[in-house]
Each structure stands twice: as structure tokens, then as C-alpha cells.
Chain A
Amino acid sequence: DAGITQSPRHKVTETGTPVTLRCHQTENHRYMYWYRQDPGHGLRLIHYSYGVKDTDKGEVSDGYSVSRSKTEDFLLTLESATSSQTSVYFCAISESGDEQFFGPGTRLTVL
């Protein structure tokens, strides 16, 4: 998976709790992305980063925040998880901003 890991791989949490998902890369790629995948919606971009401390919103950013303090790590935080955030979350990396390589995914269930 092009040197990308995601943690945790599975998580079950309760509504209202904070959750942080981690994406770690060993490729030293500049760009990093967080997507969610839901049936009937395909992949939708949540947030992305184009460098350390440089992030921007994607299509479905409400309820999510991100941070990138190091090139290799991109964190996705749900400040107060809701059931609508139950999904599979994928991290991706890219050297150029075009061709993207995906991590194995995190399955999050919010009860």
C-alpha cells in the first residue's frame, strides 16, 4: 500500500465522543488526503493537506478537523462523533497532487 498505514483499523465508539484517526506515510509525499466511503456515494473528500500545517476543506468537511504537524502524519478528528459519521475512512498520499495511493482504511462505527 505504498507505505501508508492507518490506525486504528476498526473502531466502535458512542455518539458525542471525540475520535482521532491517524494516517502515517513513509514515502515523504507532499499531499495527503482523507476520504470517506459510503454505499451509494463512492468516495468523498473530507480534507486534504498540501504540506506541513497546510490544509484545506474537501466536499464533506463539516464535523471534521485535521492536523498535519509532520510530513509523515495526517490526523483526522471527529470532535463529537455522530451516527452519520459511521463510515469507512481512507487516507491517500500523492507526490504531485494527481496520482494518489490509498491506505487500507479504517472502519468506524458510531453507536
Chain B
Amino acid sequence: GEDVEQSLFLSVREGDSSVINCTYTDSSSTYLYWYKQEPGAGLQLLTYIFSNMDMKQDQRLTVLLNKKDKHLSLRIADTQTGDSAIYFCAESIQEVGGSQGNLIFGKGTKLSVKP
């Protein structure tokens, strides 16, 4: 079945770049997403990439997609303590016979930023 894998933890120093990696299984995914969850809060959509793109940049965020290897990464430049959170990768899958896509989430990567 579909699966999305992420490493569970990442620790960086303030000012460094963070790279969070994700692998997915469904080659027909149309969109891939990155969500951020701060403690006690819901998931906030950070960015997404369409499957026919290789890269998307949005201010400090860069998303790279290697469709051949089914690998997605999120790079956060100049990481700040406010970036400390759990980051979820998600792929959009189309249910067989269904009328819409559903999201399959990874288990999340906890990013800790040390001053």
C-alpha cells in the first residue's frame, strides 16, 4: 500500500540550514505537501509542489522533488528557533474509482533548533 517515510528527528543550530527528507511510494501522486505543526496546534500548510516540477522556492523554503527516486525534501534556510516544530510530508493519492484525492501523511520529523 501507499507509504510515506520520514526520519523522526533533526537537530540544527540557529542560522544553519535544515533539510528534512521524505520518501513516498505512489508514483501517480499529483501533489506533494509539507505541513508544520507547532505544539498543541493543528497542521499548517507550508508549501506544496506539483509532481511535474523539480523545485519550488518560497522565501526561506526550498522544496526539491526527485520523482524517479520518489524523494522529496524541504530545505529551510537560516533556521530560527521559531522553526522548531514537527514537519509532515504528505502525498496526494487518487482512490481507485474515487472522485477525489486523499492525503497520506508521514509520521513527521521533529525539528529542534538550538540557539
Contacts and interface: CB of A to CB of B under 8 A. Distances in A.
B100 A31 contact: yes
The winner among A44, A56, A103 for most chain B CB atoms within 10 A is: A56
Interface in B61-115: 88, 92, 98-103, 105-108
Interface stretch (B11-19, B38-46, B52-60): B38-46
B107 A102 contact: no
Contacts of B45: 99-102
A1 B41 CA distance: 10
Nearest to A1: B42
Q: Give the contact-size bracket for chain A.
A: 20 to 34
- B interface: dominant SS: strand
A77 B102 CA distance: 21
B24 interface: no
Contacts of B43: 43, 90, 92, 102
A50 B98 CA distance: 10
Contact of A98 (B99, B101, B106): B101
The winner among B31, B43, B92 for most chain A CB atoms within 10 A is: B43
19 contacts: A1-B42, A31-B100, A40-B107, A42-B105, A42-B106, A43-B43, A44-B105, A50-B100, A90-B42, A90-B43, A97-B101, A97-B102, A98-B30, A98-B31, A98-B101, A101-B45, A102-B42, A102-B43, A104-B41
Interface of A: 1, 31, 40-45, 48, 50, 56, 58, 90, 92, 96-105
Given A40-B107, A42-B107, 5 more contacts: A31-B100, A97-B101, A98-B100, A100-B45, A105-B42
